Amino acid sequence: MTRPFVSLTTDFGLADPSVGICKGVILRIAPDAQIVDVSHAIHRQNPLEGAALLQVALPYLPTGVHVAVVDPGVGTERRPVAILTARGDHLVGPDNGLLVPGAEALGGIEACRELVDERYRLSPVSRTFHGRDIFAPAAAHLARGVALEEFGPAVDPGTLVRLELPAPRGMGGKLEATIVSLDAFGSAQLLANRADLERAIGTVEPGMRLSVEVGTTPAARCFEATWRRTYGEVTTGEALVLVDSYGRLAIAVNGGDAAQMHGLGSGQRVRLGRA
């Protein structure tokens, strides 16, 4: 019999024992759970970054329970929820927009419940660590087969908080898009794909030179980059724009750190045009 799968995505970091404690809480309730860390390095209290990450990561994971905690509102009135997706997963976390794009990437929201039943929480519930006291226990009970309806009242999916993932837009022959995250190599991922770019500036081909403008005028910085299919196609130290592993546009430097070299950061608007 397959072990139930549980994934964890948080802004807890790995320096303190928060993640280990959540895993302990899960395994006391569901000892056979197979737990995988997606990321604990979401920039603190940035649900948008977490939402964009879940959207691309969850389709690669087994069907199971996915806990996500990026929760500036812990201890205040936002609802704790569990969402059932069309693929059969449960997404568990705060109702602050974090979970919705991931649920849509798994086929859409089939049902949602508020996590209020005390049988499925630790007692007492602290005001500062709902990951441990509400979300981890709920995930574990879902993993061992407790029905979603047991956890609390139905939540109308239309009432769930939604984050606006900043859309790309074409303007004046350029594509403007938002940097949603930086990877370990300093590559900047944009909330836009190749089709968005080609709608704005026309067909792109390997070797084409692009201009990259970062920040708002008049303080904007500008540099050039080459459209490539992979890192190894440019010389070391050269900037490139490519379709990354998740189908999103990315700005990278072969063998270097694009974020550091060009001052790129999560949340910035970037304009791509023909050089």
Q: Nearest CA to 253 among 262, 266, 244?
A: 262
> What's the alpha-carbon Rg for the chain, to the nearest Å?
21
Query: What tokens appear for 127 in the block?
Result: 């005001």
Q: Is the peptide bond before 124 cis (omega within 30 degrees of 0)?
A: yes
Q: Which is nearer to a copy of itself, 100 or 271 (CB)?
A: 100
- Which sign does the torsion angle of CA 9, 14, 20, 21 carry? negative
Tell me the backbone φ, ψ of residue 190, rounded to 5 degrees.
-100, 150
Kindly state the smallest distance separating residue 93's Cβ from a copy of itself, in Å.
16
Interaction between residue 184 and a copy of itself (CB under 8 A): yes
Kindly state the smallest distance separating residue 147's Cβ from a copy of itself, in Å.
23
Stretch that binds a copy of itself, among 21-29, 101-109, 148-156, 261-269 (CB under 8 A): 21-29
Amino acid at 30: A
Interaction between residue 36 and a copy of itself (CB under 8 A): yes
Kindly state the smallest distance separating residue 2's Cβ from a copy of itself, in Å.
5
Query: What tokens appear for 233 in the block?
Result: 């196609």
Please tell me the count of residues contacting a copy of itself according to CB under 8 A: 63
DSSP, collapsed to helix, strand or coil, labels residue 226 as strand
Query: End-to-end CA distance of the chain, in Å?
Result: 57
Q: Which is nearer to a copy of itself, 3 or 169 (CB)?
A: 3
Contacts of 172 (CB under 8 A, 6+ apart): none
- Which sign does the torsion angle of CA 146, 152, 157, 163 carry? negative
Query: What tokens appear for 258 in the block?
Result: 């694009």
Interaction between residue 72 and a copy of itself (CB under 8 A): yes
Interaction between residue 223 and a copy of itself (CB under 8 A): no
Q: Which of 107, 232, 237, 263 binds a copy of itself (CB under 8 A)?
A: 232
Q: Which of 123, 128, 203, 235 binds a copy of itself (CB under 8 A)?
A: 128
Interaction between residue 199 and a copy of itself (CB under 8 A): no
Tell me the backbone φ, ψ of residue 234, rounded to 5 degrees.
-120, 165
Interaction between residue 32 and a copy of itself (CB under 8 A): yes
- In the complex, which residues of this chain contact a copy of itself (CB under 8 A)? 2-3, 5, 7, 9, 11-21, 23-25, 27-28, 31-32, 34-41, 44-45, 53, 56-57, 60-62, 72-76, 126-129, 132, 181-185, 229-233, 242, 244-245, 255
